[in-house]
A and B are shown apart, each in its own frame.
Chain A
């Protein structure tokens, strides 16, 4: 059919084959022909009789009808042509018509309304009819133009939404990323999508309103808005815009929802993040800078609902990690401000509590530094870009933020080390706790110092020096030491005094000497057992030109000073460590002994003995070393022997050569005397331990200095009973285990 219409849009050139000069005949034949043929015939007639108005009138009528039958959307071009043709023809009809033609041709003009009264159609009536038709034609054409115009505008606007939407979605695979990452230009373009959609709908409404003016549309198109729910799967494909039911993606609602999220949640997140981070930093600063200690501190914490809001939009959020890290740091700093850590507070005198505090602080530092490290590792461009302004304002961008994360570990460790000095102070106080403070007691003619003395002068005959001292219960002191004798020799004494400065008993144990023997005996260790038995380790040193001879004795005294037992322990060397396990009735004794000076290269012998209660040797381990014994710790009935050594030999078991640097070694001896292995703790410049203390069943704390020659800074290590480092306050401290 469309191709038939094409014929009609032609100029007035033609062949003559249809020429028909008698209009009456033509009119009659037209009754039996279709419109297409009639138009052809009328055109040829009009060529023949160009002044005859009726031909133009009927042609105009035909084109008018064609125009009204044409789709104003898809074939508006055709419609326009029909309009032009009809308009021209009606115009010509109007121009050519005169009263004579009106009278002669009135029957051909058809059913024309008579303007007034009951009479035949005349010139006025026909002119009026033509004018009316011209007006109606124009009105229809204008309406059709509107339909087409609004339709094109509607589709173009909708396409702007569609392509703009596709473009926006191409940036981010995740809706929540779009919410956090969209830059102002993108947010504007989304707002524009919403506005365009509104405009598009408005054009659609105008289009449908215009459609109502055209009878062509038996059904007025309606729109159905489809919500865009599934990100990246909906709202991407165009509809059939000329269908009776036009399904449209609701970009406006989508854009509104997005803008709402930006205006409410995202703006809140950005504002609150800045404010929360600032407050957390202020809290951190306060805890770091103000020297106060309290167990009742109230600290600022980020609002959990705010963190939840971040998590709602930012899965695995960097910013939440940052807030969590800062909260952990506050927790760490708050803990460091615990009363137990107050260096001036002497109410809690228990070393174990201090050690437990240091252990807990160290473990918190570990966790905090791990969090700082994880925070640094989790930094991604996208993670930072989501809060670009925040990271720019607060941290000068991503690179500096990563540097800040790395610096945090250093700063946290620095804070820990600062707190470690409080432990140092405590330990020093502990060490000096029983030092002589000028209080003496008198026994017979002897003056005894109630406190440990550290004389610089040579021991004079009859002079008493207190070397071991401790209080017991509320009113008792135990003390022991040496009494000067001739030839600069010394004899031991043991005594008990009370707080009223009375010496309850004084014992000067006798040790048999050979003839001309010049030996001194000192108290190496004094321990009070649970049953109030006093356990004493005596060390006898016999100096002779051929070399020193050593003997060690273990003696027990009851609470009245009566010697209960004494036995010679078959060990050599100077006692370094003595431990009695009264449950299993075993002694652990470590002694040190010079080696042959010619072959020793400065090495000395370290002997470790486990003895039964009756003095029988259970086992002995001999080591040679260049260094010193630090401590022996009993862990779950095994022995951890700690030494500082630059050279250490465990015989066939193991060798260590620090090449001049001192390392801390922990030799792990099983209860049966077999060596499980040794741990080496070292770092660049060397590591020297000053003490090893058992915090609890899971932790030993190793206290000392690293790089002692240059930096002399504190080392604090926590190790497990198996020797694995649980915490270290200097990163390059290494631990190696060799079985």
Chain B
């Protein structure tokens, strides 16, 4: 009878299994796996890592793969980096591949673990898993931790911590805890238990999915002493819908290790026909009700580029929600390839914030629609910004070639020189992450500066800034008097800025005869032409505010136009050994012309003198011709010849003794002398006089 009962049980079990396999189940065939007790599946569904606990020998972690979701799995091969740590005392369980595929988490009782089982991880580098690293506190404690899983955004770490249920000591039960990555994204915060609706009874094999909303786990059915698979789902930020048992795959055997394969839309799991202590498992996959399907995520990936050095770069990538600023994802791009990848739930908007120490930042707003598919976004950051400085005259807006330098505000000794772009433009290449002071300096302008804070968030690689420079001004007074009696006279003063030829006229100071003033720019050179009232000679002088740094008043004496008084004409020069005027002489001669126009009744003698070099005859001839040259110029310019006579006096009337080159230069001169008035009978003074 008992036999029949046994047979009936086996038959019914078989029938159920056959029925289940036909309708829902599909055994996952992997060569080289005898007794899978735990496994992990990559998000793309192409890599399977399985913990095989064969009847003989040590448990082994193996890896199988496939090219497409439709193709068969390859034979499982051993992962040496992990297995070399496994010996006969080793207990290993709870495999999980992070959703970005970069880490393999698992629980093990390796030497050095805190308590019994701790959570470890291996990192995939160049296709090879690294040696295991203990995840450390606060995840690992003296109590056994198991079944690690990481949300798609890498910010929520789920795992179980062992609990002992009365009368169920044979089952490896735990409760689910979750740790959140802190805001600096550097440490895991103290884990907290999920609510008692989820942690009701004994739990194992909890796995959070990439959407960070869907949780699959096994819960001990304390009525039947077996594991069932449950589904729970977040709603809102912190809440869970009441967990639901996935009845369609729950049999009277234990179903454990639920892993959802998104590409296939199927749930992988293990049916354990043995016990927790002596498991006898087979991996199955089954289609489940669509309501259990996790939320859609898309893979957003790209490369972070250093546009200055034109190479990929490691950088921080922080993804937040645009309204509350809550962190959705954080990671760093690979230091060699610059690549990064993030899983993002659809139907949300995200702000990408990319930066690196002493580099620029980049922000991108990315709305992710439900229909969105995977996409690539490359980010570009740079360590240096171009800063173009336009230096110009505040008054005229003309470019200035000022000396300009930028210095780090904290390291003033280190100055950066700019590249000269011409036309008052200079360009710096300034490293980011520092604050700079740009200083301009130019003679006769007030120094100016601007602060450029590049230690803040910099988004742009080029800035243009203006620095206006204010010219230093000086008030100059002119006091014009008569040479005859020092009395003040009102004269016309015309100042010509020599570089640009701009004319200025000082203003008469009210109530002060002979006094006028003007405010002019420091460092400039002016030609000053003073034209007195009728009856006075003109005066030309130069005012070099570059040389005369202290001068504030210019006193000018105008010679009264009296007969017989010779007035020296300045800067009248001739070609060597010739009577041909040099062009620069015209300026003074034009003043003489103006004087003769202003005083249309005067008659003038032009007198030319030489030094004592050469024979008397030669000097007389030369001076005579030179005086005539001057006369001719005046005539060319419209002065009637009747008002002019010219005479050369050779070396006969020296101003100073011809004892030096300087004195000789003084003696070589041209003068004018009033010889009468048009109304009078002209009686020119003869040479003999």
Contact = CB atoms under 8 A, between A and B. Distances in A.
Contacts of A699: 583
B460 A169 contact: yes
A2 B194 CA distance: 11
Interface string B312-326: 000000000011111
Interface in A1-42: 2-3, 5-7, 9-11, 13, 15
B460 A163 contact: no
Interface stretch (A75-83, A400-408, A451-459): A75-83
A163 B365 CA distance: 8
B397 to A, nearest CB: 4
B577 A584 contact: yes
28 contacts: A3-B192, A3-B193, A6-B240, A15-B200, A78-B236, A78-B238, A78-B239, A155-B323, A155-B324, A156-B322, A163-B363, A163-B365, A166-B363, A232-B460, A233-B452, A233-B463, A237-B457, A241-B325, A242-B325, A315-B399, A348-B638, A582-B625, A583-B622, A584-B577, A634-B578, A637-B578, A697-B581, A697-B582
A530 interface: yes
Contacts of B390: 315
Interface string B353-396: 00000000001010000000000000000000000101010000
Contacts of B324: 73-74, 155, 241-242
A107 interface: no
B237 interface: yes
Interface string B511-545: 00000000000000000000000000000000000
Given A530-B628, A584-B577, A697-B575, A78 B582 contact: no
A184 to B, nearest CB: 23
Contacts of A694: 580
Interface size, B (range): 35 or more
B238 to A, nearest CB: 5
Interface in B628-671: 628, 635-638
Nearest to B178: A3
B453 interface: yes
A5 B240 CA distance: 11
Contacts of B2: none
Closest 10 CB pairs of A and B: A77-B236, A174-B464, A311-B397, A173-B462, A697-B582, A7-B195, A696-B583, A350-B636, A155-B323, A636-B575
B624 A2 contact: no
A5 B238 contact: yes
Contact of A173 (B237, B463, B575, B582): B463
Given A159-B365, A697-B575, A697-B582, A6 B239 contact: yes
B679 interface: no
A316 B393 CA distance: 12
Most buried by B among A6, A174, A230, A311: A6
Contacts of B235: 77
A697 B237 contact: no
Q: Which interface residue of A170, A241, A242, A636 has the most chain B CB atoms within 10 A?
A: A636
B576 A637 contact: yes
A9 B239 contact: yes
B392 A315 contact: yes
A303 interface: no
A724 interface: no
A696 B424 CA distance: 37
A260 interface: no
B459 A166 contact: yes
Contacts of A238: 325, 351
Given A81-B239, A316-B425, A583-B625, 5 more contacts: A3-B238, A77-B236, A78-B239, A634-B580, A696-B582
Given A7-B197, A15-B200, A81-B239, A697 B576 contact: no
B456 interface: yes
A75 B466 CA distance: 48
Nearest to B395: A308
Contacts of A177: 464
A674 interface: no
A3 B194 contact: yes
B164 interface: no
Nearest to A586: B577
A210 B242 CA distance: 34
B464 A583 contact: no
A182 interface: no
B83 to A, nearest CB: 38
A170 B580 CA distance: 65
Given A163-B365, A173-B460, A636-B578, A152 B323 contact: yes
A567 interface: no
Contacts of B322: 155-156, 159
B197 A10 contact: yes
A77 B237 contact: yes
A304 B79 CA distance: 82
A548 interface: no
Given A166-B459, A169-B460, A173-B464, A312 B365 contact: no
Nearest to B580: A697
A240 interface: yes
Given A10-B242, A155-B322, A582-B625, A697 B236 contact: no
Given A7-B197, A697-B580, A78 B237 contact: yes
A353 interface: yes
A530 B646 CA distance: 12
Contacts of A11: 242
A241 B320 CA distance: 13
B579 interface: yes
A698 interface: yes
Nearest to A7: B195
A710 B456 CA distance: 72
A308 B392 CA distance: 12
A174, A353, A698: residue with the most chain B Cβ atoms closer than 10 Å: A174
A236 B457 contact: yes
A43 B463 CA distance: 65
Nearest to B399: A316
A516 B99 CA distance: 131
B196 interface: yes
A282 interface: no
A59 B79 CA distance: 56
Contacts of B596: none
B618 interface: yes
A348 to B, nearest CB: 8
A568 interface: no
Identify which of B200, B390, B578 gathers the most chain A CB atoms within 10 Å of its CB: B578
B621 interface: yes
A637 to B, nearest CB: 5
Contact of B621 (A73, A232, A233, A582): A582
Nearest to A2: B238
B72 interface: no
B238 A170 contact: no
A74 to B, nearest CB: 6
- Chain B CB count within 10 A is highest, among A152, A159, A316, A350, for A316
Interface string B578-594: 11111100100000000
Interface in A684-739: 694, 696-699
B246 interface: no
A225 interface: no
A442 interface: no
A427 interface: no
Interface string A62-75: 00000000000111
Nearest to A167: B365
A622 B434 CA distance: 77
A515 B338 CA distance: 114
B215 interface: no
A242 to B, nearest CB: 7
A315 B465 CA distance: 11
A352 interface: yes
B267 to A, nearest CB: 24
Interface in A164-183: 166, 169-170, 173-177
Contacts of A173: 388, 460, 462-464
